[in-house]
Amino acid sequence: MSFSDIFKSAFLENVTSVSLLDMALALVLAFGSGVFIFLVYKKTYQGVMYSSSFGVTLIALTMITTLVILAVTSNVVLSLGMVGALSIVRFRTAIKEPLDIAFLFWSIAVGIVLAAGMIPLAVIGSVVIGIILLVFVNHKSHCEPYILVMQCDGSQSEAEARAYLEQHTKRCAVKSKSAQKGLVEVNYDVRLADDSTDFINALAEMEGVKSAVLVSYNGDYMG
């Protein structure tokens, strides 16, 4: 095959460059892999607001990547044009959760591997990655993290409330504190000794304590 034959472009010749069986098999496998990635994402999601559209995007991204790689591997000229076209694409959507980036790359990688014909690598690799994510992402600590926001009328009531907290919690550490005339607000990182939160009721009724709010958070903290 000469150099000119490699870069010869004919529309009718490109029609049969990828067989219907190859296209159907690749897209079906890409859809199945995308659904598996979507289910793992849904099972391991720990953000504040779940977006179903992002899960559907994972399925579509797997299939689109497979479609693109099938076209690229069948025609050298098309592959060069595709590189140039994709190089000018800019995505402006912000990624809110760091783990979402891993799912995006997972979908793209599976689409590329499937289109390259490495079906066992794509299937077995996806299963292994899915199991690892399910094990590590869903791993829960025995001590759920909480933030306690407490308002007091002075340093004496703050000290009494702190002593009470240390007796009824497993851990109590100051994260931030603000003070003004007649009001002290303290944020504590709290670990409960058990599942009971009744101590908040008693804390709010203490002399000098104006309010006490206990909020659960995802545990992204320093210290």
| Residue-by-residue pLDDT tens, the chain, 223 positions | 555 555 455 555 555 566 788 888 889 999 999 999 999 998 888 766 777 888 898 999 999 888 888 877 766 555 555 655 555 556 666 677 778 889 989 998 999 899 888 889 999 999 999 999 988 887 655 567 888 898 888 888 888 888 888 888 888 888 888 888 888 899 988 888 777 788 888 888 888 888 888 887 765 544 4
Residue 3 burial (10 A CB sphere; 0-12, 13-18, 19+): exposed
Separation CA 80–CA 84 (nearest Å)? 7
Let me know: does 131 contact 184? Beta carbons within 8 Å: no
CATH of 145-216 given 3.30.70.260, 3.50.50.60, 3.30.750.24, 3.30.420.40: 3.30.70.260
Can you tell me the distance from the alpha carbon of 199 to that of 191, in angstroms, rounded to the nearest whole number? 13
116 to each of 14, 68, 77, 205, how far by Cα in Å?
18, 11, 18, 67
Nearest in space to 129 (alpha carbons), one of 159, 99, 154: 99
Within its chain, how far is the Cα of 63 from the centroid? 20
- Decide: 178 and 140 in contact? Cβ < 8 Å: no
Domain ranges in the chain are: 3-137, 145-216
Cα distances (Å, whole numbers) of residue 1 to 4, 117, 219: 8, 24, 61
Amino acid identity for residue 194 in this structure: D
CA distances from residue 43 to 66, 71, 147, 211 in whole angstroms, order as listed = 25, 33, 25, 36
| Residue 4: per-residue pLDDT | 55
pTM of the entire structure? 0.63
Do residues 214 and 148 lie in contact, with contact meaning Cβ atoms separated by under 8 Å?
A: yes
Instruction: Read off the tokens for 58.
Output: 């994972």
Burial label, 221 (beta-carbon count in 10 A; 0-12, 13-18, 19+): exposed
- pLDDT the model gives residue 222: 44
